[in-house]
Amino acid sequence: MVQPFANRLPLASIAAFVGGGDPEGIWRTTAADLGWLAFAEACDTDAAHAVVRAAARGNLRPARALFSAAASCAAPGIEHEAGPWITQVQRDARLALQALDVLDGERGVEHVLAMAARWQASRRASVTVFGPRCSIRPVLGQADDGTWQVERAAVTADANAIDDLVRLALAAL
């Protein structure tokens, strides 16, 4: 395994599934027990997308709570394996908080330009958190003639919660 200690979380979920348990519940409990919950949610759930949808409806409180926790998240015991992702979660969470400030009425030029600069750096980062920016998955199917065809779902673009939130903030200007 490339990241043996970080794999404790998905392995616990797989074990629950195989054993007939609740994989998502075990995943959440294990992440909390390990002190990784805020970090793990940023990397592997739709929680950020849900709070961004709530922010689009005017409810900023859940987004502030999630991104505030993520801005100071930790992953004890796996810093050496997950360091770049921990750093990116913290950076992107601070960016999300800036976007929430814009949605909350902060329209100062310095604030908005700082958010835009931070967003540009985030989109160029070597790792992605809070959802894919552009990812490729091997989604193939067979045509009626037996040839392989690439399915549309093979490429996922613009599915990043941070990008959605910053775009929402920019649209509010």
Single out the residue of 66, 54, 43 nearest to residue 103, CA to CA.
54
Single pTM value for the model: 0.86
**pLDDT of 41:** 92
**pLDDT of 140:** 77
pLDDT tens, residue by residue, 96-126 = 999 999 999 999 999 999 999 999 999 999 9
pLDDT tens, residue by residue, 65-85 = 999 999 999 999 999 999 999
Contact 86, 74 (CB under 8 A): yes
**pLDDT of 134:** 79
Mean pLDDT of the chain: 93
